[in-house]
Every structure is written in C-alpha cells, then in structure tokens.
Structure 1
Amino acid sequence: MAIVDAHSHIYPEKISRKAVGAVGQFYATHMDAPDASAEALLATCAGSPITHHIVHSVATSPAQVETINDFVAEQCAAHDNFIGFATMHQDYENMEAEIDRAVGLGLKGVKIHPDNQRVNMDDPRLMRLYECIEGRLPIVIHTGDYRYDFSHPRRLKKILHRFPRLVVDAAHFGGWSIFDYALEYLEDENCFVDTSSALEFLGPRRTVELCRAYGIERVMFGSDFPMWSPVTELNLIESMGFSQAEFEAITWHNAERFVGEPIG
C-alpha cells in the first residue's frame, strides 16, 4: 500500500527558508516547517507511513518557469518517491513548447496559484494552458481565498465546463477559507479536491461531511507542506473513522487516478 501526499511544495535549499517566510507572510500564519527543501520534506516524513509526494513550486514571473521546472525534475530524478508537477505563468511566451519540455523532463502535471500569480484563473492567457494540457496532463489549481477573487471556485466551474476533459485538483477542498462556497459551485462538477490547508480549519466532523458530499472518490490527501506537517495531517485523516477502503481511496487510489498512472 502507498500513501501519497498529493500537495507538497519544495524549493531549492538556498532559498527554502526565505520561501517559507514569504508564504507565511502571505497567509499571515505560522509555518510548521522552517525549511521547505526536498530534504526537509523527506526528513519530516521519515519513519511515517507516507510513501510518495506530488511536489511542485510556483512561478511568480515568466522568467522563473524554466528554472523551477528544471529544479522539480532534478529532485524527482534524485528521489524516486517524488511525482513532479511543472509550473507555468500566464505571461510565459511559449507555453506549448515548455509543456512539451516539461513532459520530456518526466514531469507529470502542472500547478498554478492564481492568487500568488495575480491572475484570474479563467483569464484568457491561462485558457491557452488548459487547452494545451486538456486530456494530456492533470493540473493542481489553488482555489479559494476570502481576500481575493482570482481563484474563486465560480471561475473554476466555468473552466471545467469549457474544458470537460481537463483533469483538475481544486486544491484545499475546492476553496481555501470559503469551503461552503466551494461546495456550492463544485459539488456536482468533474474535478478532484484535496485536503491540504483545510483540516485545522474544518475540524473532523465537517471534513468527513465534505468528503462525503464531494464523494470519497474525488478526495485526495494533501498536506500543503511546508505550511503543515504531512505526518500530522495524515494522523488527522486516520482519526476520522473512514473505512479502510475509503482511507485507501483518499490516500492512494484517487491520486493514482488523478496522475493517470500507478503509484507504489
């Protein structure tokens, strides 16, 4: 049995502490990990049941795209339990060529963060990206934030209807900090959701309610490392009374279906 953390961030060691500080400042919160390097992620999970990590980072300018994709690919080559996702920026000139290059590097999907990247997720510039990867690569989209409108789940609903073969993880139960709005817009849509940066806010009862409302087959375990400890987050999921089949779906099989290949 594998256990997959479907939502982890990693950064090059030389900037990992600075990146943690920047993320903590963006969300005005304490970060569980002071260091977001690949080595720190692995050390945090050492001795735990977690076997695999979907890892990614975010480009806040077009110039960062290739460097980040190279870094994530290098880390995946060094750690066979990493599943790497590429980044993309709305102003990157030749998205199609870079997606082809990322696939050649062995990356398995794409991650974008509309709030960090200051772009509406349904902006025409990103529609180019969705068209390029529809039916080809899955995408993790940061969704929801009560402070911004860039990543509102109503925008994702429009995208899902326009690109019906796009495989999407609507991160943070479809709407970080606006979980009920997310359910209203996405409950009946064709997308995955993940549990990252949600459990502490929702509590066990509401988490289980949301899992069942979306459907267990759509929910993936994710930690949002370095914001939260993957081990602590997994322990919370384990304590919620899911059946073994439900637990394996949330922590393993749904991630396999999302990525589109066996894991473990």
Structure 2
Amino acid sequence: MTVIDVHAHIYPEKIAERAVGAVGDFYLVDMYGEGTAAHLLASQQQAPITHFVVHSVATKPSAVASINDFIAEQCRIHPELIGFMAMHQDLEDPEAEIERAIGLGLKGMKLHPDTQKVNMDDPRLMNVYEMIEGRLPLIVHTGDYRTDFSHPRRLKNILHTFPDLVVDAAHFGGWSVPEIGYDELHDENVFIDVSSSMAFVGNRRTKELVGMWGADRVMFGSDFPMWDPAREYDTFTSLGFSDDDLEKMLWKNAERFTGVSVS
C-alpha cells in the first residue's frame, strides 16, 4: 500500500523549536509536532504513510539556499521524503537557485505568500513561475481571511498566465475560506490538498468539499507539524470514500502532481 502525505514541513533540529513556535503564533494554534524529520517519520508507526512531500518556507532571501540544502540532505538520508525547494521573491538570482535545486534532486517548489508577505501574483514571483512552468510543480498556500496576499483570485491570474504550471492550491484552495477557493478555482486546471482543513471545516464538510472538487484533483496532506499525520490519515480514511477514490487521493494524484513514481 502506498500513501503520500503531500504537505509536511521539516526544520533543522537547532531551529525546529523556534520555527514551530512561530508557525503556531501565526495561526494561533497549539502545534502537534517537533518539526524534525525524525518526528515526522515516527508517524509511520501509527499509520501506513509511506512517503512525505517535505518543504520549508523562506521568510528572507538569505535563507533560501540553506533551506534547499537541508531539504535535499534529508531526502538523501530518508528515501521516504520527496523534497520541494524554497524560494523568496527578493532572491537576487532565482534562476540560478532553481537550477541548483534541481541538481540537488528537489522535485518542486513551495511558497507561502502570507508569511512571505508578498502577493502571490507579484511580478517578482510571476518571473519565477515562468522559470518553473513545465519543469517543477508548485505547492502554494492559498487563502487567508486575514490578508489578501494569497487570495484565490490571484492564483487564478497565475494559472491563466502560465497554463502549463502544475499547482497544488493548498488547503482546499482557500485556507479558512474554502468556499471562496472553490468558487474561484474549481474550473481551473489545479490540484488541491486537504491539509490544515479537516480540523476547521469538520468531517461532513470535508467530504462535501471532496465531492465538489472531485477525487481526481484532491490529495491527502497533514501540514505537519501543525497536525499529527497519523491522526489526519485516520480521519480522512474514515469518511466513507470508495476504495478507488482513496487510491487517487492517497497517492495516485500525488504521483501525477509531483511527477515522482513511488508505487
């Protein structure tokens, strides 16, 4: 059995406590995990999660290279990990770092417009999307009622400008605003993941949203260390989806999204 958690964050041990605390403060939630690769992989003892897409967010341009080095190293150590690179809108030479990250074996890119304090469709990032279109998939935090940086309409603009860009609009396409995410993006060529959603919208609404989006586009994700991947897996698989739909959402869609075959 293959199960891919498409949305997990990991940090070096020396900064993990501080990083996890900052995320908890941003979202006003009590964090589950320590934020280390070891704690993430320990969830495999409680649930049949075989692989994790891992990433971290660069809140300053000087952090991009070190994050990418760390993610790549963890993927070399732990073959269960599929690494996505970090990027920052003010990085001086994004093209060079994209090429370097690909050379390190990283398989995609992760952006978080709200913590990076940049509009998702800022011209600096549009330049980056042009560079990765057709080459690297993108996970992007989408939707926050407190800001406009990651509003789903901005992603709509990106998708229309770069039709070959493969995108996961994280958190049902609209964290804290899933209905807006659906209204703006349901007719677009985009994947979504369920991370950091079930605890907020509840089980019944989760199943309804999956039905609205269609199982061909939905991917399982936990948003570790915010949530326990094993518990998120147990919750998601208990909602009454068919075996065929679960296969798609637990790994087949993630393989199509990442371009990585693990099964």
The TM tier, using the shorter chain, reads over 0.9
Normalised TM-score (structure 1) = 0.98
* Alignment partners' CA distance in 2, 1:245 and 1:44: 24
* Alignment partners' CA distance in 2, 1:46 and 1:9: 19
* Residues 1:194 and 2:173 aligned together: no
The alpha-carbon deviation at position 136 of structure 1 amounts to 0.6
The alpha-carbon deviation at position 48 of structure 1 amounts to 1.9
* Alignment partners' CA distance in 2, 1:205 and 1:27: 23
Preserved contact between residue 134 and residue 165 of structure 2 (Cα < 8 Å): yes
Determine the structure 2 residue equivalent to 1:15: 15
* Alignment partners' CA distance in 1, 2:2 and 2:136: 22
Determine the structure 1 residue equivalent to 2:160: 161
Preserved contact between residue 188 and residue 214 of structure 1 (Cα < 8 Å): no
* Alignment partners' CA distance in 2, 1:261 and 1:222: 16
* Alignment partners' CA distance in 2, 1:42 and 1:18: 20
Determine the structure 2 residue equivalent to 1:78: 77
Normalised TM-score (structure 2) = 0.99
* Alignment partners' CA distance in 2, 1:151 and 1:132: 20
The alpha-carbon deviation at position 135 of structure 1 amounts to 0.5
The alpha-carbon deviation at position 260 of structure 1 amounts to 1.2
Preserved contact between residue 47 and residue 234 of structure 2 (Cα < 8 Å): no
Cα-to-partner distance string for 1:16-41 (whole Å, 9 max, x where unaligned)? 111111100011111112x1011111
Residue ranges of structure 2 left out of the alignment (5+ in a row)? none
The alpha-carbon deviation at position 238 of structure 1 amounts to 0.9
Determine the structure 2 residue equivalent to 1:25: 25
* Alignment partners' CA distance in 2, 1:118 and 1:197: 20
Determine the structure 1 residue equivalent to 2:229: 230
Cα-to-partner distance string for 1:157-176 (whole Å, 9 max, x where unaligned)? 00000000000000000000
* Alignment partners' CA distance in 2, 1:263 and 1:145: 32
* Runs of 4+ deviating beyond 3 Å: none
Determine the structure 2 residue equivalent to 1:66: 65
Alpha-carbon RMSD = 0.7
The alpha-carbon deviation at position 44 of structure 1 amounts to 2.9
* Alignment partners' CA distance in 2, 1:168 and 1:51: 22
* Alignment partners' CA distance in 2, 1:145 and 1:261: 30
AA matched with 2:24: G
AA matched with 1:53: F
Between the aligned residues of both structures, percent identity stands at 60
* Alignment partners' CA distance in 2, 1:169 and 1:49: 23
* Alignment partners' CA distance in 2, 1:44 and 1:257: 24
Number of residue pairs matched by the alignment: 263
* Alignment partners' CA distance in 1, 2:129 and 2:184: 20
